[in-house]
Chain A
Amino acid sequence: MYHKTKPYRIFTVFNYILMIAISVLCVIPLIHVLAVSFSGKAAANANLVGLWPIDFTVDAYTKTIANENFTRSIWVTLQRTVLGTVFSMGVVILAAYALSKENARFRRRNLYIWLLVFTMLFSGGLVPMYILMQKLHLMNTLWVLILPGAVSVWNIILLLNFFRAVPKEMEEAAFIDGAGHFRTLFSVYLPVSMPAIATLSLFTIVGHWNSWFDGLLYMTNHRNYPLATFLQTVIVQQDFSKVTVRPEDLENISQRTVKAAQIFIGMAPILIVYPFLQRFFVKGIVLGAVKE
C-alpha cells in the first residue's frame, strides 16, 4: 500500500499545501477588489487596502448606482441577455433536433451540418462584419448584440449529441401516436433534455453578460453600451470622452473604490450563477468533447 509509506505521506502534506496555495491564488485578486470597493476613499487611494476593507463604507456602491450611465448600461445588458438567450436557444434547439437525425432519414443533414461547421473554422473577420452591420442598418440597435452570435454551432453539436442519447423507442412511440417532428421535439425531447438545455442556457447567459466587444464595435452612441462595454471604456481604457458625465460624477467614476465597486457588480451575477453552472458543465463538456 503505497499511501502508507513515509515518502508518500510527506508528498501528500506538500500536495495539500500546494493545492491550498493555488486555490488561494485564484481568489485573492477577487477578494482584494471586494476589499477596495468597501474601503474608505482615502485609504484606498493611499494603497493601504490589502484583503480586508479599511474604514468600511458602502459609499462606492451608492455612487455607482446613482450614476445613470451605469444603470442604463445594466438595462441594456439585461435586455440583450434575456432576449438573446431565448432567441439563441430557440434556434439552437430546433437545429439540434433536426440535425440529430440519422443521415438516412434526413438526407440534406450532411450539407447543413457542414455549412454550419465551416463557420467555426473560417470567418470573414472583423472589417467585412462591420461593413455588413452598417449596410443592414443594425448599428446602434439591440439586434446587433443578439443576431450575429445567435447560432452557436458548438451548442448545436453538444445538444445534438445529447438528443442522440435519448432512447429511440420514445420517439418511435410518439410517431406511432401520430405526432409530427415539432410535436415530438416539444413533448418528448425537450422534457427529458432539460438539464442539458439549462446548462447551455446558462452558458449563453454568461456569454451575453460578459460580451463587450460587440458593444464597442457596433454601438457608436455610448448610450447604447451594455454593461461590459461601459466597464471596458471606463475602467480599462479610462476613456471618459465617450461617456458624457457631469464634472462631479467624473471624479466619482475615476475614484479607485468606485472602480472596484463597478468591477464587483460586473462579476457578481457570474459568481451567483456559478455554482449552478459548475454542477452541469463538467458533465456537459466531457459528454460533448470526448466521444468514443
Chain B
Amino acid sequence: MKNLVTPASVKGEKLDVSTGKPRKKSKWRTNLSLDLMVMPALILTLIFAYIPMTGLAIAFKNYKPGLGFNASKWVGLDHFEYLFSIPENVQVIWNTLIIAGLKMIAGLIVPFLFALLLNEVRKMAFKKMVQTIVYMPHFLSWVILGGILSDLLARDGGLINQALVSMFGIKPIFFLGDGNWFRFVVVVSDVWKEFGFNTIVFLASLAGINPALYEAAEVDGAGRWQQTRSITMPAMLPITIVVGTLALGNVLNGGFDQIFNLYNALVFDKGDIIDTFVYRLGIVDGKFSFSTAVGLFKSVVSFVLIVSAYRISYKFANYRIF
C-alpha cells in the first residue's frame, strides 16, 4: 500500500488545504464522527456480549429465577466440584475431547490430501466443477443434513443399510442408536460437510508456489512424486501448521448443531458433548447455575487455547488475522 501521509497527518491531524498547517478543530470533529460510526456495533456488543459475561457470576451462586440475582446465595466453587466429582459429567468432557479430537485430525488430513490430488487435475473446467460441488455441503445447515442423514442411515430401509445388506449380507447397522457407530457417523459426516470448504486455504497456498521451482526440478529429472515431496509438501507446511494450530481452539467444541440434530437418548453415554449437556441441563431442566458453571469451564479453557494457538501461529508462521 502506498504511504502518502505527511508528518502532520501521522500525528492524526488533517492539513488545511489553503495554509498547509494542521487544523486543530477539525481533528476532533473527524474523530468524533468515526466514534459515532463504531457506536452501533459497540452498544450492541456491550448489551449482547458483555452483559451476559457479567451473568457468568451465577456459576458461583445458587441462582433461583424466583429469587433474582442478588438474593441468590453464593456457593463458591461448589458447581465446579460437582462437575468433576460425578463420573457421568466427566464422561461428557471425555466425549467432547474424543469427538472434537477425531474431527480435528480427520479435518486436517482429508482437505490436505484432497487439495494435493485436485491440484493434479489439469482440465480447469473439470477442476472448477469439482470445487463447486464439494464446497456446497458447507452451506447447508445441520437441521437439513440431520434430516437427510437420519433418513439415509435409518436401520430399517435407510439407503445406506440397504446397500450394505445387499453387498455384504450383514445385519442392518443401528448407526444412530449405537454409541460407537454414532461417534463414527458424527466424525465422517462432519468431514463430508466441511472437507471441500477447508481445501480452499490449501489450494490458495498451492497456487502461490513459484512455478520456477517445478521447472528447475523438471530439468534435474525429478518425477511428479519427487516434486510433490520436495517442493509442494514443504511449501504447504506453514499453512498446515497454522490450520492445525488454530483448530486447537476447538478442542472442547464437539459441534453443537450437528450432535443436537443427530443424537437421541440411546447415545447420550458416548455422544453427549459439553454444549448439548449445558443446553439440556440449563434450558430444559432449569439448572441455571450448574450449567452456567459447565459453560464457563468450557469458555475459559477454549479462550486459553485460542489465545495460545494464535500466539504460536504468529510466532512460527507469521500469521495474523487483522
Contact = CB atoms under 8 A, between A and B. Distances in A.
Contacts of A235: 143, 146-147
Contact of B33 (A25, A29, A122, A180): A180
B11 to A, nearest CB: 7
A263 B31 CA distance: 50
Q: Which 5 A-B pairs have the closest CB atoms?
A: A124-B52, A128-B55, A47-B157, A125-B295, A210-B141
B299 A123 contact: yes
A98 B34 contact: yes
Contacts, number: 280
Contacts of B42: 95, 112, 115-116
6 contacts: A8-B223, A129-B55, A132-B55, A213-B260, A236-B150, A286-B201
A94 interface: yes
Contacts of B65: 131
Interface stretch (A62-70, A160-168, A190-198, A244-252): A160-168
Contacts of A1: 218
A175 B14 contact: yes
B139 interface: yes
Interface string B197-229: 000110011000000000000100011100100
A201 interface: no
Interface stretch (B84-92, B101-109, B117-125): B117-125
A98 B224 CA distance: 49
Contact of B44 (A125, A128, A147, A228): A147
A130 B63 CA distance: 14
B130 interface: yes
B295 A8 contact: no
Size range of the interface on B?
A: 35 or more
Nearest to B282: A127
Size range of the interface on A?
A: 35 or more
A3 B122 contact: yes
Interface of chain B, main secondary structure? helix
A123 B2 contact: no
Contacts of B45: 115-116, 119, 151
Nearest to A279: B132
A22 B134 contact: yes
Contacts of B296: 125
Interface string B1-38: 11011000111101001000000000001110111011
A172 B157 CA distance: 67
Contacts of B299: 122-125
B133 A23 contact: yes
B283 interface: yes
Contact of A26 (B44, B50, B192, B224): B192
B147 A123 contact: no
A284 to B, nearest CB: 10
A26 B306 contact: no
